[in-house]
Structure 1
Amino acid sequence: MLLGDVLAQFDDDAMAAEMLLRLDDLGLVARLREEADAQERALGEFAASSVRHYAANASDEEWVTLMATLGRAGDPGVACMKRAFAFVLADDIRAGEKCDDKHHLVRD
């Protein structure tokens, strides 16, 4: 399945939940849910935008690491999503973000 196809499935809440459960990482899913709630966004919408953010902003080094991870992964799609979500959540923490009055994250 192509990444665009996966992202399109996040538009459907039931499909988004199914895709996130495939990650087999409840802690990561809980962190995604917390962040989505903080931004007043649907979980699927937040997940899709996180993967897009990763694709647009990951460094060359991160892409090389992802390629190596995909080569060893039993399910490359799950491996890619886990890496993307972890990257975005870590990026938010490193940036020291604050919430505006609508709970959207803003960078200093």
Structure 2
Amino acid sequence: MQLGTLMDHLAFEEDAAAALEALGDIVLFSNVQTMGERFEETPGEYVANAARRFAALGSDEEWLGLMAAMERSDDPARAALDRMLRWALKVDAADTPSTPHPGCTCGGGACHDQLG
């Protein structure tokens, strides 16, 4: 499957959900589900949006990494999807604010680590 065809298929939630399940990576599925819940998205919606965001926001270096992973893989579509999802999870985790500590104004920072 060519990259353009993969991206076209991932635009549809049902196809995106099926592609995620086909990866067979339960940890990745769980991470996608958890992150999707933060954004009120189903796993299929998260996958579809992750692919769109990678296409729009992925750096040249990230695209080069994706192309290299596809070239080395026996299943380029699987390698591409895996790479895009891991990128999206990393970006979304970095953009998610820390949970503040109860009764503290640190915003979830390291203030409690310095108490010991």
- TM-score (structure 1 length as normaliser): 0.76
Q: Secondary structure of the equivalent of 1:98?
A: coil
RMSD of equivalent CA atoms: 1.9
Counterparts in 2 of 1:30-41, with a 5 A limit? 30-41=30-41
Q: Deviations over 1:43-71 (max 9, x none)?
A: 21111001111111111111111111111
Aligned to 2:107: none
Moved over 3 A (4+): none
Q: How many residues align?
A: 95
Answering whether residue 2 of structure 2 is matched by residue 3 of structure 1, we say no
In 2, Cα distance between the equivalents of 1:55 and 1:83?
A: 12
Cα shift at 1:98: 3.2
Fraction of identical pairs, as percent: 36
Structure exhibiting the larger radius of gyration computed from Cα positions: 2
Structure 2 CA distance for aligned equivalents of residues 18 and 39 of structure 1: 20
**Residue of structure 2 in register with 1:98 after alignment:** 97
Question: Any idea what the Cα deviations from partners look like across 1:7-31, whole Å, max 9, x if unmatched?
Answer: 14x422xx44431122121111100
